[in-house]
Structure 1
Amino acid sequence: MSTESFPFVLSTAFSSTLSGGNPAATVFIGDAKPSDETLGVIALNFTQPMITYISSPLPSTDNNTAVFDVRWFTPVGKEVPLCGHGTIAAAGAIWSSPGMVSDDVDTLEFHAVSGAMLKVHKGDGRWYEIRLPAGSVEPVSEAEWAHVAGLVSQAMGKEVHVKFIGKGGKGFEHMVLIELEPEDDLEGCVVDNSALRTTGFYINIITTGSPKNEASGARFVSRMFAPLRILGGEDHVCGSAHCVLTPYWSRKLGIASSGEIKARQVSPRGGDLKVSWHQDEETVGLKGELRLLGRGELFV
């Protein structure tokens, strides 16, 4: 029986430290066409929060842009249509692999199975910027408010002060955003995220304005829970959650279009982002650092 081998890179996005950010594995499958089942099994073996599969470079009409096909799989072997941190991790893996792209390339273009096209731009040092679709939220009904607010208080082990609950608009219907008061101490709470399994949404974003003791300069903080979709129930740093967080807080804070805001996800690992809402383009810009952790060869 013949054995294929694929190089891989491990890294963590939205942090410069080993203990921070959101880890991901990037696997370079070249021109091979592994079955969906095989890709899922590989993801199960890596047990990283996200596994990103990258093709060989595709034709490009721009000498400064390299183009790749991309697919994302969760550690339970399920494919997802979009992953911000997995894409930034893949970009760092490509730029750190000698000979993968020419020195002139400062933009990577990724084409997903879903039809989405993502671009990552190389910034200063280890900072990278990705553009994602912007999402909106609309207030939930009174009945939904009571239901979700009760579950959030249950998850956080105390009665919390809910300021707003909104469900995602077109393309983000699976998300709910809950704003609490900074005094509810989102970072310090030990959250029983299993209580959020029945909110009616599989991505539950809890956010507050910047606490008084926030040292990073972030204007808002957040945590994201998806107990029905991810191992452990909490995403360390979620790029796609900021597709709705960024427009929401830009409006609240009176930030002009394309204005940059510092944000922090206050999960136990934690991560720092610079975010911007580009209203005319209906996109959100996410900037984050990347820390490489290791590389190796996978045998299939």
Structure 2
Amino acid sequence: MTQRIYQVDAFATEVFSGNPAAVCPLQHWLPDTRLQQIAMENNLAETAFYVPHAAHYEIRWFTPAVEVDLCGHATLAAAFVLFHREGHTSHRIRFHSPRSGTLTVVRNADLLTLNFPADRLHPVALSDELNACFGITPLQAFKGKTDYLLVFDKEEVIKNLAPRLHAIASLNARGVIVTAPGSSADFVSRFFAPQSGVNEDPVTGSAHTSLTPYWAERLGKTELSAVQLSERKGFLQCRHLGDRVEISGQGKLYLEGQIYLE
């Protein structure tokens, strides 16, 4: 059998920037082992799969190693595919994730806006295990639903951080977000998740469900600009809505084709 596949650069202003995600539209769910094999073969940070229902699309996300609870950039990529290649005619898409509930995406010209549940952050001690991740002691540390958030004092520190991947992988978390005030944006970040098969993620929409509430409270504003400082860079607009966040960006189509499954 053949299966349609797309690759979209999410949170990108041009191809070869942002975060590449694969998207596979399905009519029914394949076995989980086959979904994981496809994601491993794609060898991208995330592959999104979705199945249409009467009023929504059920969506799931896989790294090359595991299924994850939530992925922002692959959701944006899936919405891009539906809007631009798969014939979705409304300006709004309603996804449902078995792990994260209802997720909506709204299209306004080239801008796609995700509406996700906001993360709840809890302060944690600056332990030896956290300090060992980068060899630099952060100003603050928090733990959300799936990730640690480490706060530093300036953008230059985030740019120059050298992750110690073995130490990060030993943490009981999906990964580690690092952040600081930005020079040309409200805040900057990077994200490392070797325990999920992704050493450094180019742009992480789900991490901004943690970053947006933190920076909204710290800066006293609800609308924020953000840059993820990976080598590819990603550009996001974020809005804090209390128990929800909006995360906006663009997508750029890189690849459209077929994969062959025995």
- TM tier relative to shorter chain: over 0.9
Query: Given the superposition, is the C-alpha separation of residues 53 and 271 from structure 1 closer, same or farther in structure 2, using an over 3 Å criterion?
Result: same
Counterpart in the other structure of 2:26: 29
Given that 2:119 and 2:210 are in contact with CA atoms closer than 8 Å, whether structure 1 keeps it comes out as: yes
Q: Is residue 193–residue 234 contact of structure 1 (8 Å, CA) maintained in 2?
A: no
Q: What is the CA distance between 1:84 and its match in structure 2? A: 1.0
Alignment check: 8 A CA contact 2:180 2:187 kept: yes
Q: What code does the residue aligned with 1:58 have?
A: H
Aligned pairs (5 A) from 1:25-64: 25-30=22-27, 32-55=28-51, 57-60=52-55
Is 2:187–2:215's contact at 8 Å kept on the other side of the alignment?
Answer: yes
Shift of 1:197: 2.2
AA aligned opposite 1:93: V
Give the structure with higher Rg (CA).
Answer: 1
State the match for 1:270 in structure 2. Answer: 233
Deviation of 1:166 after TM superposition, in Å, equals 1.3
Which of these residues, 69, 79, 93, is aligned with residue 108 of structure 1?
Answer: 93
Matches within 5 A, 1:50-199: 50-55=46-51, 57-60=52-55, 67-76=56-65, 78-97=66-85, 100-102=87-89, 105-114=90-99, 116-125=101-110, 127-141=111-125, 145-154=126-135, 160=136, 162-168=138-144, 172=145, 174-182=146-154, 185-199=157-171
- Match in the other structure for 1:63: none
TM, length-normalised to structure 2: 0.93
- The code of the aligned residue for 1:293 comes to Y
**Alignment deviations for residues 153-178 of structure 1 (CA, whole Å, 9 cap, x no partner):** 42xxxxx352111122xxx1x32111
Match of 1:295 in 2: 256
User: Number of residue pairs matched?
Assistant: 261
Q: Which whole-Å deviations, capped at 9, do the CAs of 1:55-99 have from their partners, x for residues lacking one?
A: 2x3223xxxxxx2111111122x211211111100000111115x
Instruction: Quote the Cα distance in structure 2 between the aligned partners of 1:115 and 1:177.
Output: 20
- Per the alignment, residue 203 of structure 2 pairs with 237
CA distance in 2, matches of 1:235, 1:49: 7
What percent identity do the matched residue pairs reach?
Answer: 29
Contact 2:134 2:163 in 1 (8 A): no
- Structure 1-normalised TM-score? 0.82
Amino acid at match of 2:248: K
Q: Residue type of the partner of 1:202? A: R
Aligned letter for 2:239? S
Q: Deviations over 1:20-58 (max 9, x none)?
A: 11111111112x331111111111111121111122x32
Residues 208 and 38 from structure 1, CA distance in 2 versus in 1: closer, same or farther, beyond 3 angstroms? same
Contact 1:129 1:287 in 2 (8 A): yes
Answering whether residue 216 of structure 2 is matched by residue 221 of structure 1, we say no
Query: Residues of 2 paired with 1:185 and 1:82: CA distance?
Result: 28
**Contact 1:26 / 1:52 at 8 angstroms: preserved in 2?**
yes
Change beyond 3 A, Cα 1:153–1:69: closer
In the alignment, is the contact (CA less than 8 A) between 1:147 and 1:199 conserved in 2? no
Question: How far apart are the structure 2 equivalents of 1:46 and 1:230?
Answer: 13
CA distance in 2 between partners of 1:189 and 1:284 (Å): 27
Q: Give secondary structure in 2 for the equivalent of 1:91.
A: helix
Say what the alpha-carbon RMSD is for the aligned residues.
Answer: 1.7
Could you list the runs of 5+ residues in structure 1 that have no partner in the other structure? 61-66, 155-159
SS of the residue corresponding to residue 228 of structure 1 reads helix
List aligned pairs for 1:8-19, cutoff 5 A.
8-19=5-16
For 1:225, what is the secondary structure of its paired residue? strand
CA distance in 2, matches of 1:44, 1:295: 18
